[in-house]
Amino acid sequence: MSVKGLKKLMSHSVVVVDAVRTPFGKSGSLYSGTRADDLMVRAVRGLLERNPKLSPSNIDDVAIAAATQTGDQGMNLGRSVALLAGLPTSVPGYAIDRWCAGALTAVTTISSAIAFGAYDFAIAGGVEHMGNHPIGDGLDPNPRYLAEKVVEQDALSMGATAERLHDRFPTLTKERADRYAFNSQMKTAAAYASGKIQRDLIPTAARSAELGWGIATVDEPPRPTTTLEGLAGLKTPFRPAGRVTAGNSSGINDGATAAILANEEKARALGLSIKARLVSFAFAGVEPEIMGYGPVPATIKALAKAGLSIADIGLFEINEAFAVQVLAFLEHFGIADDAANVNPFGGAIAVGHPLASSGVRLILNLARSFEEHPEVRYGMTTMCIGLGMGGTVIWENPHFNASTKAGN
Q: What is the pLDDT along the chain (408 residues), one digit of tens a residue?
A: 444 544 444 589 999 999 999 999 999 899 999 999 999 999 999 999 999 999 999 999 999 999 999 999 999 999 999 999 999 999 999 999 999 999 999 999 999 999 999 999 999 999 999 999 998 888 899 999 888 989 998 898 999 999 999 999 999 999 999 999 999 999 999 999 999 999 999 999 998 777 788 999 999 999 999 999 999 999 999 999 999 999 999 999 999 999 999 999 999 999 999 999 999 999 999 999 999 999 999 999 999 999 999 999 999 999 999 999 999 999 999 999 999 999 999 999 999 999 999 999 999 999 999 999 999 999 999 999 999 999 999 999 999 998 886 544
| The predicted structure's pLDDT at residue 9 | 47
Q: Are 399 and 374 in contact (CB under 8 A)?
A: yes
Three-class secondary structure of residue 254 per DSSP: strand
Catalytic residue among 12, 100, 133, 373: 100
Three-class secondary structure of residue 277 per DSSP: strand
Residue 240 lies in a domain: no
Residue 246 lies in a domain: no
Task: Please tell me whether residues 302 and 355 are part of one structural domain.
Answer: yes
DSSP class of residue 46 equals H
Q: Are 347 and 314 in contact (CB under 8 A)?
A: no
Task: Please tell me whether residues 366 and 299 are part of one structural domain.
Answer: yes
Residue 101 lies in a domain: yes
Three-class secondary structure of residue 369 per DSSP: helix
Neighbours of 159 (CB within 10 A): 19
Residue 213 lies in a domain: no
386 vs 378: CA distance, rounded Å = 27
Task: Please tell me whether residues 319 and 358 are part of one structural domain.
Answer: yes
Task: Please tell me whether residues 271 and 324 are part of one structural domain.
Answer: no
Catalytic residue among 166, 373, 384, 399: 384
Task: Please tell me whether residues 84 and 177 are part of one structural domain.
Answer: no
CA distances from 201 to 20, 46, 253, 290 (A): 6, 9, 16, 33
Task: Please tell me whether residues 90 and 183 are part of one structural domain.
Answer: no
Beta-sheet strands, E only, within 324-388: 378-385
Known catalytic membership, residue 353: yes
Known catalytic membership, residue 166: no
256 vs 19: CA distance, rounded Å = 11
Catalytic residue among 129, 133, 166, 353: 353
Task: Please tell me whether residues 20 and 168 are part of one structural domain.
Answer: no
Task: Please tell me whether residues 296 and 172 are part of one structural domain.
Answer: yes
Task: Please tell me whether residues 9 and 33 are part of one structural domain.
Answer: yes
127 vs 259: CA distance, rounded Å = 12
| The predicted structure's pLDDT at residue 137 | 86
Known catalytic membership, residue 129: no
Task: Please tell me whether residues 37 and 169 are part of one structural domain.
Answer: no
Task: Please tell me whether residues 105 and 174 are part of one structural domain.
Answer: no
Residue 205 lies in a domain: no
| The predicted structure's pLDDT at residue 1 | 41
Residue 167 lies in a domain: yes
183 vs 314: CA distance, rounded Å = 19
> Which residues face 280 on adjacent strands?
394
Q: How many domains does the chain have?
A: 2
| The predicted structure's pLDDT at residue 402 | 87
Q: Which domain holds residue 9?
A: 3-135+252-276
Packed helices 358-372 and 102-116: angle between N→C axes, nearest 10 degrees: 70
Q: Are 177 and 324 in contact (CB under 8 A)?
A: yes
Task: Please tell me whether residues 99 and 13 are part of one structural domain.
Answer: yes
